[in-house]
Each structure stands twice: as C-alpha cells, then as structure tokens.
Structure 1
Amino acid sequence: MDCGTVAFSLPNGTLLACTFNEKLNEELFAMQGKEQRKNHVDTLLGPGLNIHRSPLNGRNFEYFSEDPLLTGKLAAAQLRGMRRFGVTGTIKHFACNNQEFKRTEIDSVLSERALREIYLRAFETAVKEGGAYSVMSTYGGLNGIWTASNFDLLTTILRDEWGFTGTVMTDWWAKGNDREGEEATRENVAAQVRAQNDLNMVNADAASNSQHDNLDDALADGRLTRDALVRSAMNICRTVMNSPVMERSLGRMSDEEREAAEAEKTSEDYVDFSGEYQFIDDEAPLDISAVNTEKGASTVLGIRYKKNGLYKFVMRVKANANEVAQIPMSIFIDGNLRGMVMINGTNGEVVTAEQDIGVLFGGTNYLKLYFGQTGMEIEEIKFVCTQAF
C-alpha cells in the first residue's frame, strides 16, 4: 500500500466474475476484510460495478461483467465478506461510467428503462443484499446532469427508493452542474450538497477547499440552505459510527488490530531509534539532508520537544509533474501511522502541505517518512504545536 504496508494482491473484477461463485467471492473478501481491519482501512474504493458496455472499454478489468445480475450478486457477496470484520467497500462508479476515454466530459444519454434494467440494477442489489453504505459517483453526466450533483440519482433513487442511508463521495475532483445544458465545473460544490453527494474528493483540508468552491456564495443567495449541509454531515457521521474508526476513537481494538500491532514489534521494519534527535520547538525546521524520496524508500529521524500537545506536520515541497499526478508520503510516529500527505504535481512550483498528526507526548519520538511514489522535492519540514498541554 502507499504507506508501505505489505498487502496481498486480489484478482481483478472480471476474473472474479468468471467464477460465477458467490460463496467463493464472499470467503475471499472476508480475508480481505481481515487485512483491512489489521491495517486500519475501513473501506475499499471498490468494488466497481459498471457494465461492460463495449469490449474496448479501458476500465473493463475493474468491473465484473456485461450482466447486471452477475455483477450485483458478486458485489453483494464481496461486501458481506468484508462486513464480517466490520469494514466495507465503496461501490462505484454510480452510474453509467461505461467508457474510459474522456470520462470526465462524457454525458451518458439513455432511457429510464435501460438505466433501471441494466446500469442501475447491480448497484441496487449491492445496496439491498450487500448492505452497501458507501458509494462513489462518477466524473461524467447522466442525461445532462453530472452524477455528482444529480438529485434524481443520489436522492430519489439511491436513498428514497432503495433505502440507502450512508455516504456518497465524488470521484477525484469531479464536476457538478445545476441543470441540463449547463456546463459542469469543479467549483459547483453547492449542487453536489443539494443532491446529497456528501464528500467532495480530494482536498487537503476544508479551509483549502472552501477557497475554490461556491458554498459561501450559494448560502448567501439562497441556492443552498444550511439544512442541506447538516443533512450531509449526518450522512457522514452515520457512516463513521458504522465503521471501525469509531471503535478506535474510543480506545477499542479488534483482535486483528492487536495482532498486527504486536507483529510489527518483531518485524524487520520495526525501528528502535537510537540516533541523534533534532529539536522541533518554536517551529525549528528539521535537517532533511538524509531524507530519501524515491518510491519505496523510508527515512527515520529523531525529534525532541518540550511542549506536549497537538501537532501539525508542515512541509514546503514541489513536484516536477502536472496536477494530475498524485504523490503520497506517509508519516509514522514511533511506528504508528499518523497521516498521509498527498500532493499533486506542482509543475515545479513550491507549495505548502500540512497534515494533523495528533498528540506528541513524552519529549522524544522517532519520525519515519515513507514515500509511495517518486517525485517529491522537499525544501523544509517543521512541526507546529497547535495546542499545548
């Protein structure tokens, strides 16, 4: 995984569909669920349920079949398997993401009968028989309304007709529009909230996101009400409370999580740091000359401080790639994953990236940085104490 954890490799969706075997898929994904629980991964970004409309579709491997019955039954089985360990999958891409070419621009135009009998049927089965409570909408449009802001799709059908009570998220940097024929834009987040697309992905933090969306303007002129925002917040909270992260926040660990923590202490990756410590008080920058940012590399640094409290990890960084590139770096404190910084390519421009890492306590810790992809050029790293204890 991007954080450096070893994970087993699953067959792709089409190959799994070739089994025509619900029980086998459920057992396989029960093991997948156990691995997720060990690694604090509460939901997969999958399974993918779109239909093989054409054998030339570049994303067919991710989806099951040209048949909605087979697709829905196997997706439900996989969700049931993961649910044995309290985790789930985010079924995607809802709906009609049936071609890869220009999928951010394509408007799928089809009849209600074709939509309900072919393209929505598998999703309905996954919700009703698999207990799906996390859904990802698509990049494109459906009969003129982009799916991330499509009220009929996300509220009338998914929630009102099928009884879905969970969270809907966008695909990464998806667009929204208010009406048929109107241009869809990434800034039109108000339309997404009205449709009950609850999470706009991907954003570094809420403050940064709010600089580039139309929520404030829509609230001011009445296009959006506070009630709609509260409704999405309720959907998100309901999903969180239905997930293992709720148990972890209360200090409760599953057997799988406890076994993983013990196993880490005896693994070859476990670090008992005995090197030199660097002071981070008063936002003193770290000496990062030894940091290796190549894919798969990790570097361990010792940190020392006088103030116990909540801290934020802040770095100035650039990447000589365009904005479509995604480059992850995981932050471990004393062997525990505290967060991940994900930057896009910056075309060589230096930007600031931040990540809340929680409490630092005790005066000394070791910091491990793991790089899931090559491309970061880090100019400065420092820790900012946001609340001292």
Structure 2
Amino acid sequence: DDFVAQLSVEDMACLVRGEGMSSPRVTDSTASAFGGLSDSLFKFGIPVGCCADGPSGLRMKDDTVQLPIGTLLACTWNTELIKELYTFEGKELVNHKVDTLLGPGVNIHRSPLNGRNFEYYSEDPFLAGKMAVACTGGIKAGGSWGTIKHFALNSQEASRFKIDAVASERAIREIYLKPFEMAVKAGTIKTLMTAYNPVNGHWSASNYDLCTTILRGEWGFDGMVMTDWWARMNDVVKGGEESAQFTRDMIRSQNDAYMIVNNNGAEVNSHGDNTVKSVEEGRLTIGELQRASKNILNFLINATVIERELVDTDVPKDCPVDPDATPKYKEFTINGNDKVEFDSEKYATMIVEESGTYTLIVNMCFDSHNLYQATLKMNTDKGNVLTLQTAGTDGYWVTQKVCKLNLEKGVYNIELEDVQAGIKVAWMQFKK
C-alpha cells in the first residue's frame, strides 16, 4: 500500500496498459510487455513483464518445443503426464524470459464448428478443469505461470469480437465457468484473461459479475486479470455502447490490465483511453486504480522477472548533425517541447537551438486492421536515424512515444521513407 501510494494517477494509468506485439522491451516476437513501461515507473524499480502466446507450446520465432494440442492432451485422461509435460514448458518459459504463457484455453466445445476447438480440452467442464489444473500446475512447478482464458463463454470464432453469449446463470456456472473455478481454487494460476464477447449484454472485459462477484468474491482469486488483445468494454453498470477506450469500466469491474496498445504507447496514452479523464471527473476513484495497480505489481513480484536484472531499454540514440546542412523544406524550431509538422510529401526541416537528449513522440495513422504492420524510416542529411514500425490503427490517429535521441545544435532535413507503406504522420514532437 505504501509503495502504490507513491504512484501518480498518470503512473497508474500507464501501469494498467500493456504494449505489443513484439515489444522491444521484452523477448523478441512475444505477445506483450507490461509493468514498468514509462520512465517514471522504471525509476520506481518496476520491471517489465512478458507474455507469450501458445497454444501448442511457446509461440516464438526462435526454436521452441512444440507440444500436443489441448484436445489431444485431454484424450489421455492422464493428469500426471500433463503436469510433467508442462513442467518442462514452465522451464522453457523461464529460459526465454517469459513470465506468463497466454494459455491454456479452457472454453467449452459447445459446437463442433468452433474454429478453436483444437486448442480447448473438451465439451465436459470437469475434464477441462482437471486438464487446466494439471497444465497450469506444471507450468508453476517449472517456474513460470499460465494465463487461463477466455473468461467467459467464448465458444465460437465467427464474430467472436461482438457475439452476445446469452445463457442462464445455471448453465454459466455449471458448464462454462467450471474449468476456471477449478484452476482458481487449485491455486495454480495468478493470471487470467477475459474474453472479447459480451455475456448477457455486458462485455466480458468490463463484466463486474464475472470479474468481481464470482472470480474474486466467491472464488477468492487474488491475481492479475487482463483483457484479450484489443478488447472492448462497456459501462460496468448500465451496459450499452462498447469501446476500447472505456478502460474506466474495465478497472471498476476489477479487470486490471488493458491488452494492448502499440509499442511505446502506454506512457503517452496512444489509444486515448479514459482512465485519467475519469479520475478527474470523479467517475473512477484513485482507490479503484490503486487496486488494479496492486494486482499487477503483486503478479510481477511473484514472477521470474523480479529475479532478472532491471535493464533500461530506452537508451538514447545518437543523431549527428551535418555541419554543412542548409534548410531545404518548411522550417520548425526545436527548443524543448516543440513539434515538426509534415505535409503529404513527408519532408520537413528541423532547427535545433540547443543540444541535448530529446524524447521523440509521433502522431500517426495507419488505416488498416491491427494485425497488419507498416514500417517507415526517418532519414536526415547524415542517413537513416531510426525505423518506425506500427500495427494498423483502424484509421484512428494515435500518439506514440518512439525513442530518445541525442540531438546536436544545427539543421536537420528530415525525410520520411516508406518501407512497408501505410503510415501517415501528422507531427513529430521532440520533448526535452
């Protein structure tokens, strides 16, 4: 409590955002980074945790061991074998500096047409629960953690982002929640992922009945809850319209972490969520935000990241000036907190009045789905300075912290070069 009391509202708003995918702050080609994602949080000594996808082992570009799929494992009916297998998986996670595997998935085989049935265990909730306990127990024995998902009633892939799962309370409790309940009560998990879909009109990522009344109140779960990637939430009380920006309702429901914003976007609120604004308006209490922060920090304390050396990955890059350069384009003066604006040609001249280390923040748009990637090079008279990569922003303009640059006094003619076309840049801010 004393430690969390030191954190500002902005610090905690950053803490409840994860970044990804393939964050440069953690193991390459993994799903998310979370925790100490800002300069301020890093100064408090908060490490950056790492999530990685499954489901058939650890999904990374490096060599990892492929494991049998969930349905095949459940066919063994052998919990001792599954636990032993996933103990080795836990050790592999530790070896690759991954703090939690995003699995197992324990959703029910409600329909044989579900596109992810291969990943899930069974149509039998008791069997699915026994397999989940064996799997997560093995990962825990191997030194890491499993994130059980998707909570709850995520029973189809078609329209999974929006399909409303309508069910009776008895069916929900006896069928769809039972595997989660068994894993929580066995004490083998510290992280849980909510689903994309609404349940009886309330979106899972901001569903108070699921995340507070049942999960924490009835079952006693004291770990960290995260959303699925790019999930949406609606009003925790009234329901209604949903949005990825409604993190206020996520936090109020006791879902702790939003997954994900773009890399280096957590500190600058790149997706424009309403956490800080809601505190200012009195619609989210500091206590509720502190509660979410504590859940995230408690997980990090119990993860292997706490044993690793705290490394600052935000090392300034040198950006030498050409002493013979003269202005070629529209001129912008930089002296501590100024912006360079770009036209459709992506050219501008920056005049730096004082040498020093500046944080580069970019306002940009990539009108594509968030699973697509685009790449842009920033060149000056002395050559390439950096490469900017982003996922699709679905047409929204987002603000992203890129890196720190050591700038020299003088003239920089900036040219933005498309590598994988698609990124539009409105401005770059150089903040000292």
Q: Same fold (TM over 0.5)?
A: yes
Report the equivalent of 1:35.
Answer: 92
Q: Secondary structure at the match of 1:201?
A: strand
Report the equivalent of 2:43.
Answer: none
Using the TM superposition, give the Cα deviation of residue 220 of structure 1 relative to its aligned residue in structure 2, in angstroms. 2.6
The count of corresponding residues between Structure 1 and Structure 2 is 308
Report the equivalent of 1:235.
Answer: 295
Q: Work out the CA distance in 1 between the residues paired with 2:207 and 2:397.
A: 37
Q: Compared with structure 1, are the counterparts of its residues 349 and 143 closer, same or farther at alpha carbon in structure 2 (3 Å cutoff)?
A: closer
Q: Compared with structure 1, are the counterparts of its residues 76 and 106 closer, same or farther at alpha carbon in structure 2 (3 Å cutoff)?
A: same
Task: Please tell me whether residue 195 in structure 1 is matched to residue 253 in structure 2.
Answer: yes
List aligned pairs for 1:142-291, cutoff 5 A.
142-178=199-235, 179-204=237-262, 205-209=265-269, 212-249=272-309, 280-282=317-319
**Mind listing any 5+ residue stretches in structure 1 that lack a counterpart?**
252-278, 286-308, 330-340, 358-373
Q: Work out the CA distance in 1 between the residues paired with 2:106 and 2:245.
A: 27
Q: Work out the CA distance in 2 between the residues paired with 1:249 and 1:311.
A: 26
Q: Work out the CA distance in 1 between the residues paired with 2:72 and 2:90.
A: 19
Q: Work out the CA distance in 2 between the residues paired with 1:68 and 1:311.
A: 54
Report the equivalent of 1:14.
Answer: 71
Q: Compared with structure 1, are the counterparts of its residues 88 and 281 closer, same or farther at alpha carbon in structure 2 (3 Å cutoff)?
A: same
Deviations 1:322-373 (A, max 9, x none): 22325499xxxxxxxxxxx97313689999865669xxxxxxxxxxxxxxxx
Q: Compared with structure 1, are the counterparts of its residues 88 and 326 closer, same or farther at alpha carbon in structure 2 (3 Å cutoff)?
A: farther
Q: Work out the CA distance in 2 between the residues paired with 1:283 and 1:216.
A: 37
Instruction: Work out whether residues 224 and 295 of structure 2, in 8 Å CA contact, stay in contact via their aligned partners in 1.
Output: yes
Using the TM superposition, give the Cα deviation of residue 196 of structure 1 relative to its aligned residue in structure 2, in angstroms. 1.0
Instruction: Work out whether residues 361 and 430 of structure 2, in 8 Å CA contact, stay in contact via their aligned partners in 1.
Output: no
Q: Work out the CA distance in 2 between the residues paired with 1:349 and 1:144.
A: 26
List aligned pairs for 1:81-120, cutoff 5 A.
81-120=138-177
Q: Work out the CA distance in 1 between the residues paired with 2:176 and 2:137.
A: 22
Deviations 1:11-65 (A, max 9, x none): 2111111111101111111111111111101111110010010001111112111
Instruction: Work out whether residues 97 and 103 of structure 1, in 8 Å CA contact, stay in contact via their aligned partners in 2.
Output: yes
Using the TM superposition, give the Cα deviation of residue 117 of structure 1 relative to its aligned residue in structure 2, in angstroms. 0.5
Higher helix share: 1
Q: Secondary structure at the match of 2:259?
A: coil
State the 4+ residue runs in structure 1 displaced beyond 4 angstroms: 309-319, 326-329, 346-357, 374-379, 384-387
Q: Compared with structure 1, are the counterparts of its residues 350 and 193 closer, same or farther at alpha carbon in structure 2 (3 Å cutoff)?
A: closer
Q: Structure 2: which amino acid aligns with 1:158?
A: L
Q: Work out the CA distance in 2 between the residues paired with 1:132 and 1:349.
A: 36
Q: Structure 2: which amino acid aligns with 1:345?
A: G
User: Matched residues, percent identical?
Assistant: 46
Q: Work out the CA distance in 1 between the residues paired with 2:96 and 2:359.
A: 23
Q: Work out the CA distance in 2 between the residues paired with 1:60 and 1:133.
A: 24
Q: Compared with structure 1, are the counterparts of its residues 22 and 313 closer, same or farther at alpha carbon in structure 2 (3 Å cutoff)?
A: farther
Report the equivalent of 2:368.
Answer: 322
Q: Compared with structure 1, are the counterparts of its residues 315 and 194 closer, same or farther at alpha carbon in structure 2 (3 Å cutoff)?
A: closer
Q: Structure 1: which amino acid aligns with 2:299?
A: T
**Mind listing any 5+ residue stretches in structure 2 that lack a counterpart?**
1-27, 30-59, 323-355, 376-387, 405-418
Q: Secondary structure at the match of 1:182?
A: strand
Q: Compared with structure 1, are the counterparts of its residues 318 and 220 closer, same or farther at alpha carbon in structure 2 (3 Å cutoff)?
A: closer
Higher strand share: 2
Q: Work out the CA distance in 1 between the residues paired with 2:63 and 2:88.
A: 14
Report the equivalent of 1:276.
Answer: none
Q: Work out the CA distance in 1 between the residues paired with 2:177 and 2:167.
A: 12
Deviations 1:283-321 (A, max 9, x none): 679xxxxxxxxxxxxxxxxxxxxxxx99989999997x8
Q: Compared with structure 1, are the counterparts of its residues 64 and 327 closer, same or farther at alpha carbon in structure 2 (3 Å cutoff)?
A: farther
Q: Work out the CA distance in 2 between the residues paired with 1:57 and 1:90.
A: 21
Instruction: Work out whether residues 75 and 130 of structure 1, in 8 Å CA contact, stay in contact via their aligned partners in 2.
Output: no
List aligned pairs for 1:342-357, cutoff 5 A.
343-345=390-392, 354=401
Q: Secondary structure at the match of 2:278?
A: helix
Q: Work out the CA distance in 2 between the residues paired with 1:227 and 1:203.
A: 24
Q: Work out the CA distance in 2 between the residues paired with 1:140 and 1:223.
A: 24
Q: Compared with structure 1, are the counterparts of its residues 385 and 215 closer, same or farther at alpha carbon in structure 2 (3 Å cutoff)?
A: closer
Q: Work out the CA distance in 1 between the residues paired with 2:201 and 2:399.
A: 37
Q: Compared with structure 1, are the counterparts of its residues 216 and 160 closer, same or farther at alpha carbon in structure 2 (3 Å cutoff)?
A: same
Instruction: Work out whether residues 154 and 195 of structure 1, in 8 Å CA contact, stay in contact via their aligned partners in 2.
Output: yes
Instruction: Work out whether residues 164 and 200 of structure 2, in 8 Å CA contact, stay in contact via their aligned partners in 1.
Output: yes
| Cα root mean square deviation, aligned | 3.7
Q: Compared with structure 1, are the counterparts of its residues 19 and 194 closer, same or farther at alpha carbon in structure 2 (3 Å cutoff)?
A: same
Q: Work out the CA distance in 1 between the residues paired with 2:423 and 2:273.
A: 28
Instruction: Work out whether residues 245 and 271 of structure 2, in 8 Å CA contact, stay in contact via their aligned partners in 1.
Output: no
Using the TM superposition, give the Cα deviation of residue 81 of structure 1 relative to its aligned residue in structure 2, in angstroms. 0.8
Using the TM superposition, give the Cα deviation of residue 245 of structure 1 relative to its aligned residue in structure 2, in angstroms. 0.2
Q: Work out the CA distance in 1 between the residues paired with 2:258 and 2:303.
A: 19
Instruction: Work out whether residues 137 and 169 of structure 1, in 8 Å CA contact, stay in contact via their aligned partners in 2.
Output: yes
Q: Secondary structure at the match of 1:6?
A: coil
Instruction: Work out whether residues 315 and 378 of structure 1, in 8 Å CA contact, stay in contact via their aligned partners in 2.
Output: no
Instruction: Work out whether residues 49 and 92 of structure 1, in 8 Å CA contact, stay in contact via their aligned partners in 2.
Output: yes
List aligned pairs for 1:126-145, cutoff 5 A.
126-145=183-202
Q: Compared with structure 1, are the counterparts of its residues 311 and 33 closer, same or farther at alpha carbon in structure 2 (3 Å cutoff)?
A: farther
Instruction: Work out whether residues 272 and 398 of structure 2, in 8 Å CA contact, stay in contact via their aligned partners in 1.
Output: no
TM-score for the superposition, normalised by structure 2 = 0.63
Deviations 1:224-261 (A, max 9, x none): 1111100000000000000000011479xxxxxxxxxx
Q: Secondary structure at the match of 1:343?
A: strand
Q: Compared with structure 1, are the counterparts of its residues 186 and 22 closer, same or farther at alpha carbon in structure 2 (3 Å cutoff)?
A: same
Q: Work out the CA distance in 1 between the residues paired with 2:360 and 2:230.
A: 24
